[in-house]
Amino acid sequence: MRYSFTMLALILLPLLLSGQPAIPDDGPVFKDSIVPRIDILINPDTLQWIYENVESTTEFHAVFIFNNSELIDTVENVGFRLRGNTSLYSAKKSFKISFNAFEPGGKWNGLEKLNLNGEHNDPSVVRSKLCWDLLHDSGIPASRSNHVRVYINGNYYGLYINVEHVDEQFVDSRFGNNDGNLYKCLWPADLDYLGSNPEAYKITAGDRRVYELKTNTQQDDYTDLAHFIDVLNNTPDEDFRCEMEKVFNIHDYLKIIAIDIFTGNWDGHIYNKNNFYLYHNTETGKFEYIPYDLDNTYGIDWMGKDWGTRDIYDWEQHGGEVRPLYTRIMDNQALKDQYSFYVNKLTTGLTPEEVCFPKIDSIRNKIAPFILNDPYYPLDYGFTYTDFLNSFSQALGGHVAYGIKPYIHSRDSSNLSQADLNNMNPVIKFISHSALIPNQDFWVRAYIEDEDASPEVRLNYTINNGNPVYVFMYDDGGHEDDEAGDKVYGGLITNITNTIHLEYQVFAVDNYGYSSVLPCEPVILELIPSEQPDLFINEFLADNDSAFADEYGEFDDWIELFNADADPVWLGDKYLSDNFANFDKWLMPDITLQPGEFILFWADNDPEQGANHTNFNLEKNGEEIAIFDSPATGYKVIDSITFGTQSENVSYGRNPDGGPVWQFFSQPTPNAGNLTGSVSDDYYSENQLKIFPNPVTSDRVYFSRPIKVRIFDLPGVEILHKDSCSFIDVTALDKGLYLLVTDDGFTIKLIIQ
């Protein structure tokens, strides 16, 4: 065991990471400036069987061809089937394309599946697209989408909307992790409390679960959902906001409610207890609400209601049914005021003639030629091309109760007359902080939103249980706050020498005197003694062409760990990463490694292939690998290696196992000792540079050959320069992360501990 001081977060917040969702760009697949063509080639007899057995979920072999002029690609051996619920019996059906149906771990442009929606209910074929775009533009982690032309066996099947599938790839791209539970929630998903037993929430409707677990299905553990629903339903009113903020991204959900009302979405959770996902974000510990299935919007009605004028504070369905997520928010004045702010912001920002209608007209003109010749468009409701053109400006009768533009006018007018606008307390969310390291600066970031464009924001803190003090937080790009004007504020505590206990909260007050402070309970950070196991990165292969295959027969990168400790080491609270700045990139599985035992992990970015498959690849041209300890220790570095360009089928490892010397192995030894098959450094490029130790726990850093070296801090200031040296003395440098640059082009991240 190695003994050192590490950081304990008694109220855990992620280090460096904020939990703020990423909003990926459209990329080539969802680019919507043009209408791509998608071709499906499938056996005609198979296609006929699919249409005769519409409820089957069997996936059949097909060929997928994508063409948007910029990207032309063919994927052999995809899975093809129908998708949907009531739409299964429509004439214009919807389809699912699976790139991993017959190729385990198969992806295309980072996607495992595509959803091709026929939109047969909507004569405009734009309503759900407008919703997806509005969510995207509002910073909500929703699906990307675009219109596409679909051909099957060369026959035109019509205009479709290609909607991004919500799965582990989706949540990873938005939240930076995919190891949490993802639940698909369909009718009657009311989030009502059914007791403390997690098994109670595995209720079914028909042949499916109401809360259907889509990830971690082998564990099938609903404990997190049961806890969330317990907090939602049973927390006293006076504690509701604080307790919900611990388990749910409530502030982004308030935006989603406002968008549901603005678009007239009655087929989601609030009215129809239907069509949403919940993802347990393991970075923040909070559930995220993800919208789903948005075609029943903008005046489409099957319920006999006027969605253009319905009360914005009374959207739920009545008759004794519960909707605690919506009703408890509306019963909390602070949250209700925030919701009203978002309603008003949408209504006044999306003015019909200036903003909404030009976009709608642009989409209509783009897709019109493909409606004209759509052979399936008329079959379900007798829609004609004239109906398509009229559907934007007038009701068509039946379930098309509004034209899109009249609906927007009606909803805007109702929102403005119904909104009960009070000054709201500033919104504080996505709080994050750096590691607490003695003799180094400490920063905190938070996203602040308010009617006041320039609220005063402070970082309130105490050190070693002393008197409360504060520093101001700024959104100017110069206080660890990201970019100026992006509503992310940063505060910096300098010269925190001899700090072993720090508590902080973020406080914001606007010009109207309304204020917020979060978290409700201070974040507490302490430096505590901790023991680190003698766990080593023992060998890795970053250019595996034919040296060793995984259980799927794939020649992927791999990393071998070795327990050189006298005690067993539990891996389940430790992380493996290929980025020194991303501590918790991949949580290792619930495995205990015995003394002298090896374990092999496949660095193939295919975590769905099993517990020993990571969510990253290794870069054969050089990068870094690190083992990070649990969050409770501040993600202390247990072991790491920085490496340069690797050779095909040649591994790099320690000799002996767990020892300080690294060398190359022409005969890799995965899950075995590294005592045979080694080759000399001459086998490798003479320009290869090795530095050790890294992270630096001694006074010196050594180099495998004499070099000219410069060291920079993260802001880019040069702080050390040495000519032709075999080592450098780092005793004068503070602990932290630096960039080491050599005269022959190597740039290496150097951690001094």
Q: Tell me, what's the pLDDT at 46? A: 97
Location of structure tokens 């917040």: 13
Long-range contacts for 476-483 (Cβ within 8 Å, ≥24 apart)?
Answer: 479/443, 480/434, 480/443, 480/445, 481/445, 482/445
CATH architecture entry for 2-16+434-511: Sandwich (2.60)
Residue type, 368: A
Which residue numbers in the chain have pLDDT < 50?
Answer: 2-6, 9-17, 676-687
φ and ψ at residue 691, rounded to 5 degrees? -125, 145
Q: Tell me, what's the pLDDT at 747? A: 64
Residues of the chain with CATH 2.60.40: 2-16+434-511, 689-753
Q: Tell me, what's the pLDDT at 528? A: 63
Distance CA 430, CA 115 (A): 31
Q: Tell me, what's the pLDDT at 744? A: 62
φ and ψ at residue 190, rounded to 5 degrees? -95, -10
Q: Tell me, what's the pLDDT at 684? A: 36
What 3-state class would DSSP assign to 602?
strand
Q: Tell me, what's the pLDDT at 712? A: 75
What 3-state class would DSSP assign to 643?
strand
Query: Would you state the torsion angle of the CA atoms of residues 252, 257, 260, 263, taken in this order, to the nearest 10 degrees?
Result: -90
Question: CA angle, 640 as apex, 636 and 644 as ends, to 5°?
Answer: 150
Q: What is the pLDDT of residues 130-183, one digit of tens each?
A: 999 999 999 999 999 999 999 999 999 999 999 999 999 999 999 988 889 999
CB atoms within 10 A of CB 135: 23
What is the chain's length?
A: 753
Location of structure tokens 């991240």: 749
Contact 545, 649 (CB under 8 A): yes
Q: Tell me, what's the pLDDT at 134? A: 97
Convert 459-512 into a string of H (helix), E (strand) and C (coil).
EEEEECCCCCEEEEEECCCCCCCCCCCCCEEEEEECCCCCCCEEEEEEEEECCC
Query: Would you state the torsion angle of the CA atoms of residues 604, 610, 611, 613, taken in this order, to the nearest 10 degrees?
Result: 0
Q: Tell me, what's the pLDDT at 697? A: 67
Q: Tell me, what's the pLDDT at 688? A: 56
Distance CA 645, CA 518 (A): 46
Q: Tell me, what's the pLDDT at 238? A: 96
Distance CA 211, CA 187 (A): 9
Q: How far apart, in Å, are the Cα atoms of 685 and each of 665, 680, 689?
A: 14, 11, 9
Location of structure tokens 């052999």: 76
Q: How far apart, in Å, are the Cα atoms of 100 and each of 59, 113, 608?
A: 11, 8, 10
Distance CA 748, CA 412 (A): 55
CATH 2.40.10 matches 689-753? no
Distance CA 587, CA 610 (A): 13
Q: Tell me, what's the pLDDT at 18? A: 54
